[in-house]
């Protein structure tokens, strides 16, 4: 976990406003963008001035948001122990997703090889399709395992909030 994340998280738990060196988006930081490191506060939601969109738009990534750990820690109000365990879970899921991307490229290569010759190579196409299916099954298993571990980690209210985020599409798996 990046040290800036821990600073951000501890300042949130201590009741800080989250404004500081780790909260801004880059060079020039806070004072040039309204004195709050680029973070605006209003209506109970935080919004980032530098990236547009609404307060729930944290970009896109493996979990449907750019920074899933930060997003979930904030939305679910996780404690330090939960944040550390969630970081491990998301790291394992990130590794599995990276492997799925490698498998996707291999699948596309196999499909290209199947159609490149004079005659269609059915065996290469089937090998590519089998690799795609196996990769999807491994990813399915990794996601369900991660969700199970996250379920154990959270209390009742946090699980309800997570379910809401998934159900509304704010968090995409």
pLDDT for 41-58, tens place per residue? 344 443 333 344 444 433
Question: CA–CA separation, 8 vs 72, rounded Å?
Answer: 13
CB 7 within 8 A of CB 22: yes
Question: CA–CA separation, 36 vs 32, rounded Å?
Answer: 9
pLDDT for 133-156, tens place per residue? 999 999 999 999 999 999 999 999
Quote the pLDDT of residue 63. 52
pTM > 0.95: yes or no: no
Identify the residue with better confidence: 57 or 83.
83
Mean pLDDT of 5-21: 61
The residues, any chain, with a CB within 8 Å of residue 156's CB and separated by 6 or more, are: none
pLDDT for 56-75, tens place per residue? 433 344 454 558 888 899 99
Number of neighbouring beta carbons within 10 Å of residue 1: 15
Res. 82: pLDDT tops 70 = yes
């Amino acid at each position: 976990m990046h040290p800036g994340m821990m600073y951000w998280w501890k300042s949130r738990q201590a009741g800080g406003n989250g404004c500081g060196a780790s909260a801004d988006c880059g060079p020039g930081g806070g004072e040039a963008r309204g004195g709050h490191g680029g973070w605006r506060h209003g209506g109970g939601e935080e919004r980032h001035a530098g990236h547009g969109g609404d307060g729930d738009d944290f970009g896109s990534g493996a979990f449907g948001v750019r920074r899933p750990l930060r997003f979930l820690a904030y939305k679910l109000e996780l404690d330090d122990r939960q944040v550390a365990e969630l970081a491990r879970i998301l790291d394992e899921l990130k590794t599995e997703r990276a492997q799925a991307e490698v498998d996707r490229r291999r699948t596309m290569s196999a499909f290209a090889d199947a159609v490149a010759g004079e005659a269609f190579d059915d065996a290469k196409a089937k090998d590519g399709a089998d690799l795609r299916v196996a990769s999807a099954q491994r990813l399915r298993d990794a996601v369900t395992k991660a969700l199970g571990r996250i379920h154990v980690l959270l209390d009742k209210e946090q699980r309800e909030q997570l379910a809401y985020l998934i159900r509304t599409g704010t968090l995409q798996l």
